[in-house]
Amino acid sequence: MRVWRLVPVMGALICQTLVLGTAPAGAATVGPDQQGWWSEAQPSPPVPPLPVNTVTGTNLQVGNDPSGPDAVAAVRYTVPGTVDGIPVDPSTVPATLTLKVAPNTAVGTPTVVACPVLGSWQPAQGGDWAAKPAYSCAASTPATLSTDGQTATFALTTVLQARAGVYDLALVPDPANQLPFQVQFLAPGGDSLTLGSGAASLSAVTEPPPPLDLGPGLDTGTVGPLPETTPFVSAPLSEPVTPPPATAAARQPTVALRPEAPALIGHISSKRAQRAVALGVLLAMVAAVWWFGGQPVRSPRLLGPLGGRGGAATPGVYVRAGGIGRFARPRAKPPTRL
């Protein structure tokens, strides 16, 4: 019975562990360095400025009329060098800009895009139209409105960085849209820019490892004198070590193709000599066969009773035989010399 009483407690502990273990980590967010907006209705000095900001307060207004933009805004964010405790290269960090639409300020269908700012600008609230920041929408990203129309989201890529690690953006009407509209965004807060994941910082990759812990009583920052058996490391390691000329010359690879030519020629000439010797031996063998073939062959001597039957040679008949083996024939005259 006691075991069954522990089942609910164990189930609650398991659920708590699963919930805490699977909870997603919060993404890093930053706030703007500067913000402002400018109105076409604001005259240039020396005419006294109109109190247009008394209506908008700290909101950022963007508007469009049939002739073009009549109100633009700007925000500037600096990407830190560390995101979620990991050193990163700020120029490789994408981000998401989220702005809240001020209640009851949207007129028409807002079509706002974020474009990189060219040059510098100063914060203003309903500032002079001539002092608005210059921008280029060659690269831009549109605002995506939520279903309730209360939030505008801009997906920012690193192409939209005005400078490395700086999102300096002009919020302006879409140049492709000529329909009039008006919208005000609440002043962006400290969590308005959500940072993505970027490449690791080069300084973090090349950071030297921490010193080794040699144990208590030992100084990890310095190394004491080495034993006398290793005097070759007494010089500072930071000084370059130049090998002696002989050693350096010995380490240089030697590639010599031309000196191998005589050896190759000698190898070829030795083969020619062997061929000449073989040819000479062959000619000598041919000459020996020819010479021995031209020598006279004696008639075979008959043995036994047949030995006395041979009569005297016929006078005037040349009986010298020539040829070898079964090719031997008696001749009536000496053979003709070649």
Domain boundaries, the chain: 27-195
Question: Residues 12, 19: contact at Cβ < 8 Å?
Answer: no
Torsion of CA 120, 126, 130, 131, to 10 degrees: -20
Rg, the chain, Cα only: 54
Residues 53-59: contacts with CB under 8 Å, at least 24 apart: 53/125, 53/126, 56/125, 56/126, 56/184, 57/125, 58/125, 58/186, 58/187, 59/102, 59/105, 59/184, 59/185, 59/186, 59/187
Please tell me the distance from the alpha carbon of residue 100 to that of residue 183, in angstroms, as a whole number.
Answer: 11
Segments of the chain with pLDDT less than 50: 1-4, 6-7, 9, 13-26, 205, 232-234, 248-249, 256, 261-268, 310-311, 313
Among 193, 196, 205, 209, residue whose Cα is nearest residue 87:
205
Question: Are residues 185 and 100 in contact, defined by beta-carbon separation less than 8 angstroms?
Answer: yes
User: In this structure, what token pair is assigned to residue 238?
Assistant: 């930071």
Query: What's the CA gap between 234 and 255, in Å, rounded?
Result: 37
Spatial neighbors of 113 by CB under 8 A, at least 6 apart, are 137, 140, 141, 142, 143, 171, 172, 173, 174, 175
pLDDT tens-digit series, residues 75-96? 999 999 998 888 999 999 999 9
pLDDT at site 39: 92
Name the pTM for this structure.
0.54
pLDDT, residue 334, reads 72
Question: Which pLDDT does position 208 carry in this prediction?
Answer: 59
pLDDT at 111: 95
